[in-house]
Amino acid sequence: MNTSSSELRLFRTLKAPLSVQIEVTENCNHRCTHCYNYWKKGDKCIFENMTFATAKKVADEVINSQVFGVTLTGGEPFLNFDVTMYLVNRFKEAGIQVSINSNLTLITPSIIDELKEANVLGILTSILGDNEEVHDKITCTKGSFLRLLEALEMCKEKNFPVSANMVVTRENLDTIENVAKIVNDYGCVDFTFTIALQPECDIDNSDRYLSVEELKVLFNRSLKVTKRFLYGARCLIEAPYCFLCELDEPSAYQITSCGAGTSSCVIGSNGNVRDCPLNSEIYGNLCLEPLKTIWLRMDKWRTTELIPDDCLSCKLLGECFGGCRRQSYVASHLSSFKANNPMMVKANEDKAFALLQENNLTQTNDVILGNQIQFEFDNMRTEDFGGVVVNGDRRIFLDEEAYNFISSVLSDHKYAISDIGYEYEDFLKSLVFMGFAKTNN
């Protein structure tokens, strides 16, 4: 690890990632204009599939490293179906949660049955417009919109969970509310959006990508979607906290935390390990060395090394981290990950800090303990500082004392608060608030 003594450590160094994305193929049957896959540049026309030999090595490393969750992605993972299902079943046997990113156009009833049998949590798919003209223009694939709707109906009929994500550009910004209605009508369990970031192969073309003013429009429209369809207003690209104060209802928005290099990483089809799906930097190869060894090389993501200078003195540094570093890198024309995020509004620092304090105080005060508590967690892992506990997509980092306490109790078993001790009241309230326990109030 090459961390300068002048850099502040923002994240604990875990012994291995908590979650990984595995790119089982570079190939895809769509050619989306905004696609972030770094290998889709220049004249490259031959894309790699993960081999069974690489898949076995990757699975062994992920399992041995006690990773909690895996997302199988690509490209389009169902173009390498046998390897995808091999990994699904290996991780099922190991008790690792699996989800899949897919455009759904290759899905069939029998594939859905296989996925359900293997306990796959669900699929995240993309819907890029509210009609054929918009969606098919972006995917560069005629018929892709109607095929997607057929697949959504198929999943709905078989009660297989699908979440929908909309990558937003100027081409489809005006359709987000109509897209949300489609997603709702087809029974999707969640709806999120992603800001399209210019890929390296399209860095000189800014026509389709949103300006900061257009981003405000997008975020405000997402709040309307939340009220209408009860989906959480959530962008999968991390936004700076200070940007929220530019919105109509800052307190209603959910900030997404980025785990690149701190709790998650990406494994390519050839075994190369990267920090983020959007980035091309390679830290090592799983066919040649252990995941835990490669993981330690990502230390710059856990310190202030990549944080903009203007953010280093910010009161929100420990919560915000300056927004998406890839977005900053793109905004700087690929010159620096440390550049200011284009959504940053430094003048809003005090307002954003007050908003965060108000939300935290309100959330804590809302928790009322009854006379019993029931703990809820799926998995846990020891760390040098104590340990990590996971419940669904939630995770909590605990010191040694707190971790030992959680290790001593049973999930889904009711305990009397009086037997635990009221001196732990604040800790128990925090567990209830974060979704690791429920009380009988």
Cβ contacts of 21 within 8 Å, gap of 6 or more: 70, 71, 72, 73, 101, 264, 265, 266, 267, 277
* Confidence class for position 355, pLDDT limits 50, 70, 90: confident
> Which residue bears the tokens 């050619």?
31
User: What mean pLDDT is predicted for residues 3-18?
Assistant: 77
**Range with lowest mean pLDDT among 183-197, 328-342, 346-360:** 346-360
CB-based contact 371:428 (threshold 8 Å): no
Looking at the predicted structure, is the pLDDT value of residue 360 above 70?
Answer: no
Structure tokens at 441: 């109030």
pLDDT confidence of residue 369: 87
pLDDT confidence of residue 45: 59
Nearest to 146 by CA among 174, 116, 186: 186
The mean of the pLDDT values for the chain is 91
Structure tokens at 396: 């909590």
* Confidence class for position 386, pLDDT limits 50, 70, 90: very high
pLDDT confidence of residue 3: 42
DSSP-based helix, strand, coil % in the chain, nearest 5: 40, 15, 45
Q: Which domains does the chain have, with CATH numbers?
A: 19-347 (3.20.20.70), 372-439 (no CATH)
Percent of the chain residues past pLDDT 70, beyond the cut:
94
pLDDT confidence of residue 393: 82
pLDDT confidence of residue 38: 76
Percent of the chain residues past pLDDT 90, beyond the cut:
72
pLDDT confidence of residue 364: 57
CB-based contact 199:36 (threshold 8 Å): yes
User: What mean pLDDT is predicted for residues 103-114?
Assistant: 97
pLDDT confidence of residue 1: 38
Q: Could you read off the pLDDT of 249-265 as tens digits, one per residue?
A: 888 887 778 899 999 99
